[in-house]
A and B are shown apart, each in its own frame.
Chain A
Amino acid sequence: MQGLLDIESLPRSEIEAILARSKNFQPAPRQPFKRFTTLQNRTVVNLFFESSTRTRTSFEIAAKRLGAEVLSIAVAASSVSKGESLVDTLNTLGAMRPDAIVMRHAASGAPHFLSRYLPIPIVNAGDGTHEHPTQALLDALTILDRRGTLENLRVAIIGDIAHSRVARSNIFLLSKFGVEVVLCGPASLLPREMGAIAPGVELTTDMETAIRNVDVIMMLCVQLERQHEAAFPANEYFRFYGLRPEHVQRAKPDVIVMHPGPINRGQEISSEVADSQRSAILNQVENGVAVRMAVLERVLAG
């Protein structure tokens, strides 16, 4: 596998292989994580042009558990502010010969652009409003843990769809498995074209319609920093698109509630729901490490 840039171009068989391998990296209940030496003497550079605690830490732990050396760089604070271009930053790092670069960037397609010039595999840890492939993989693993299969499921994704890389990656992944995906959000954050980016996608601006009869509810962060204008009145957003206990009751009784984090309690999701039995939010975090181990192993040792 030559890096991981997006889910859209990843074949279903590859996704299945990663998910299957991830299961080997999940710890048994009350057991510590196993450590591996698969990536001994390999160096992974975590290059985060956008601040992120959880994703960076998750990749870091994943690489360390596989025995790799990890170097995490928060670029926002270093050379970019001195005016160095992305190409120069990467060329500099490339000259140090890491075995893989894990990269997060605020610009959509930044890892695709770099991969044309760098011979080093790049793992996309989130690019602008485009994709966040490992998030979709860990979400799929979390659903598999509770449902055993992705087939014949119905999943609602709710929030700022337009600006969400989590939504795009999940749509592409779920669609490859025939999942019915319902996208829900205020009209200005729900482009009509979203209904056509993958098969089996429906759109609605009505929360009640969205969650009727679904197996999974994925809430998205409200990412005001990605919005360049007031696309909706903020207080109305929370009133109409915040997930509360009365919503969950309308979904299937064993519905799974997910959220990529960090959660804004009392805003897009109420505390009661976030902390309920239905919530898989902490499982997602845990699965993040297992999935990223599988991805790094595939990219580096494969």
Chain B
Amino acid sequence: MSKLVIRNGRVVDPSQNLDRICDVAIQDGIVRQIGPAIDATGSMEFDATGMIVAPGFIDMHVHLREPGFEHAETIETGARAAAAGGLTSVCCMPNTQPVNDSANVTSYIVDRARRFAVVNVFPIGAITKNSAGEALAAFASMKEAGIVAISDDGKPVMNARVARRAMEFARALDLPLIEHCEDLHLSAGGDMHEGLESTRLGLRGIPRSSEDVMVARDLILAELTGARYHVAHISSRHAVEMVGFAKKRGLRVTCEATPHHFVLADRDMAPYDSNYKMKPPLREPSDVGAVKQGLMDGIVDAIATDHAPHAGAEKMQEFERCPFGIIGLETALGLALEQLYHPGHVDLAHVIRLFTQNPGRILSLERGFLRPGSAGDVTIFSLDREWTYDVSRSVSKSSNTPFHGRKFKGGPVATIVAGQIVWQL
């Protein structure tokens, strides 16, 4: 079968402290050899001179909108956008129509992904039926059908008793529970972070406390149940502090941050521009700093995009009527390099770990590393290529992003999934 040799790149795999210039050979979808001067007879070759060759990047939080909202994104287009962002695996949230709360829907997504997605798609199942926050969904049969975690993302599990039961069952199945941390009573009606900016603009606020009280509640329940618990899109400085505290206590707790939450603050928002409207909202500079510090210190385990496509007409409305969410697959790596690597806050292995080893471990994907026998997923990227993000050329079906026109230094060059080059610059 097919064989691919990636030639002469700087191969960096933080899971084994590997950082050397050499070749990587992939055959039949599996990494076969990593080393110098691999014999490429009969193989396809990819010249990665001057590039970084890393384990395939994993985005543990995306919305692919299929089934139900195919006008905004499909598994096919979302997967192509992921590939264009250097991602080889994405985990799709269950808030589709119907909600992914049964093995049937999970199987449908797995089947569509097998036929149409150029990257690996790992579904996340709902915690509760229809994500309504009441009756628990069928975790075990969804797990058999292929889910890697459970979440009601887009909504929290408001009822603490339901959250406790969900953690107990999830623990028994060894599934991580991913919470969208938002107390809906505190955030009700809000459109942006509650603070000076919302006051100035006359927009209703989403207080930081709406995130904090839910994180606090869940950490208490995680300790009670022993569940693997993960905070989605952490944005509050207090929440970061609490997760750090829980980790010190030895709880099996992790969290992720989106690029926009470590890049932008509420005051960076272009006035009433819905491309800056998402949940959790862009918070204050002190929160942005805390999230970034959390990424450096290891309190924040992973970078995930929360890629949330919305069709143009949905975002072309009065700010308070627009839906929440922005796309992010194509800009994640560029933003991570800009904020973490280029200023020298962390080394390259650290940035790569946030996209590979850590999310792979949290979701038990058996991916996120590069060694003989592992999946032949590779992300090849540049550290110095200068480029400008033009969303009109995006392969996503939606274009709701605040990063249109942003200049980047470094970004994806080629995306390889199971030994196939699925995207290249």
Contact = CB atoms under 8 A, between A and B. Distances in A.
B199 A194 contact: yes
Contact of A130 (B195, B196, B202): B202
B114 interface: no
Given A113-B272, A193-B199, A196-B196, 4 more contacts: A105-B318, A113-B318, A191-B199, A197-B200
B316 interface: yes
B373 interface: no
B202 A131 contact: yes
Interface in B194-232: 195-196, 198-204
24 contacts: A8-B200, A85-B313, A85-B316, A85-B317, A86-B317, A107-B318, A107-B319, A107-B321, A108-B202, A108-B272, A109-B202, A112-B271, A113-B272, A113-B317, A113-B319, A128-B320, A129-B203, A130-B201, A130-B203, A168-B200, A193-B199, A194-B199, A196-B196, A197-B200
A276 B63 CA distance: 62
Contacts of B298: none
A228 B202 contact: no
For B188, B203, B272, which residue has the most chain A Cβ atoms within 10 angstroms? Answer: B272
A282 interface: no
Given A109-B203, A109-B272, A129-B202, A197 B317 contact: no
Nearest to A165: B202
B405 interface: no
A191 B201 CA distance: 13
Interface string B166-203: 00000000000000000000001100000110111111
Contacts of A130: 201-203
The 5 closest A-B pairs by CB, nearest first: A130-B202, A109-B272, A107-B318, A108-B202, A193-B199
Contacts of A93: none
Interface string A104-124: 010111101100000000000
A191 B200 CA distance: 11
A113 B200 CA distance: 16
Interface in A178-195: 191, 193-194
Contacts of B200: 8, 168, 193, 197
Q: Give the dominant DSSP class at B's interface.
A: loop
Nearest to A162: B199
Contacts of A107: 318-321
B396 to A, nearest CB: 22
A71 interface: no
A197 B319 contact: no
A193 B203 CA distance: 13
Nearest to B318: A107
B196 A193 contact: yes
Interface in B289-345: 313, 316-321
B310 to A, nearest CB: 14
A197 B203 CA distance: 14
A87 interface: yes
A60 interface: no
Contact of B201 (A109, A194, A196): A109
Contacts of B201: 108-109, 130
Interface in A78-99: 85-87
A215 interface: no
Nearest to B198: A193
B318 A228 contact: no
A160 interface: no
A297 interface: no
A108 B317 contact: no
A228 B186 CA distance: 12
Contacts of B204: 129, 228
A170 to B, nearest CB: 13
Contacts of B202: 108-109, 127-131, 165, 168
Contacts of B203: 108-109, 129-130
Contacts of A193: 195-196, 198-200
